[in-house]
A and B are shown apart, each in its own frame.
Chain A
Amino acid sequence: MKYFEDIRVGDVVMTGSHTFNAEEIKSFARRFDPQLFHMDEAAAAQSHFGALCASGWHTASAWMRVMIDQQRELQDATIARGEKIPMRGPALGLRDLKWLKPVYVGDTITYKSEVTELRVSNSRPGFGLLTILTTGVNQDGAAVISFYSTTFNERRSVP
């Protein structure tokens, strides 16, 4: 967990991995994206995807979970050192979200993020705006998702 001042453009974080099983793919799809190629193996086999695959929003949401799990470990370490935790979030938005390849049952997606832009918030002087490029790569090394997101990140000091 870092204050805005301690973050640099080009910093890279390896966030972690998630393996998608059929039950969770269908569970997400039933609630949020009930297109047949995300819900039913036989229908998916007949579709242009060729097999059951995860909703793109599931692939993105799974990154968030992996990222928050990692952040919580860092927060625990920060608290253990007796230091204050910088406030991060919420995000303002996303751009250039690309679903590059389907995520199939059993695929393991490894996510990483790189800092691409840092600027001070005009509306909230205690915060900076952190933009990161997140990519997810499958077990064969093929990119399946990428997007830019911009999030409030607390500053250590306000001039």
Chain B
Amino acid sequence: MTERLHFEDFKAGDVAIYGPRHVTREEIIAFAAEFDPQPMHLDEAAGTASLLGGLGGSGWHSCSLLMRMICDGFILNSTSMGSPGVEEVRWLRPLRPGVNLRVRSKVLEVRTSKSRPDMGLVRLTFEMIDDSDDVLTTMTTTLMLGRRAPGAAA
């Protein structure tokens, strides 16, 4: 097993791409039935009658899929300590059945934590894109990562 990614392995300007992840109609409906049972997320006719213009997944499903793709992409192989939050999410286009998702990631900023010398903060922006490279969802967030050399100057 290769050594896990630490805070020190992230640099502002780093880019990467993760995926693809195929999304089925069944999983869109299953997520909606469990967490967001609005007709536009459950049924084609209701989706067509809504502003989504067809069956489209819950925005929370898009966020959760993005999370899974970055978990598989790098977080599970890192010293992740979770996240304090998300600055912004934009749901620009609906999540459609049959789409193959990819996630483009870019590191915006890295900084050490004053209160937690064993931890560093990495601010990233993600774009979730479809087969045509159209951006469906964007997310800007900060991840907390363990440091290889706790307390050392960054």
A residues neighboring B (CB under 8 Å): 28, 31-35, 37, 47-49, 55-57, 60-62, 64-65, 68, 72, 87, 89-99, 124, 127, 147, 152
Let me know if A91 and B59 touch, CB within 8 A.
Answer: yes
Let me know if B87 and A60 touch, CB within 8 A.
Answer: no
Task: Please indicate the chain B residues that have their CB under 8 angstroms from the CB of A49 in the complex.
Answer: 82
Let me know if A90 and B82 touch, CB within 8 A.
Answer: no
State A132–B81 Cα separation when bound (angstroms).
29
State A99–B76 Cα separation when bound (angstroms).
20
B residues neighboring A (CB under 8 Å): 34-38, 40, 50-52, 56, 58-60, 63-65, 67-68, 71, 75-76, 80-91, 94
Minimum distance in angstroms from B71 CB to a CB of chain A: 6
Let me know if B82 and A37 touch, CB within 8 A.
Answer: yes
Let me know if A96 and B40 touch, CB within 8 A.
Answer: no
Let me know if A57 and B76 touch, CB within 8 A.
Answer: no
In-complex Cβ contact of B65 among A32, A93, A99 (8 A) = A32
Let me know if B51 and A60 touch, CB within 8 A.
Answer: no
State A18–B58 Cα separation when bound (angstroms).
19
Let me know if A90 and B84 touch, CB within 8 A.
Answer: no
Task: Please indicate the chain B residues that have their CB under 8 angstroms from the CB of A91 in the complex.
Answer: 59, 91
Minimum distance in angstroms from B54 CB to a CB of chain A: 12
State A59–B21 Cα separation when bound (angstroms).
23
Let me know if B67 and A99 touch, CB within 8 A.
Answer: no
Minimum distance in angstroms from B47 CB to a CB of chain A: 10
State A61–B89 Cα separation when bound (angstroms).
14
Task: Please indicate the chain B residues that have their CB under 8 angstroms from the CB of A65 in the complex.
Answer: 34-37
Let me know if B76 and A34 touch, CB within 8 A.
Answer: yes
State A55–B82 Cα separation when bound (angstroms).
9
Let me know if A92 and B82 touch, CB within 8 A.
Answer: no
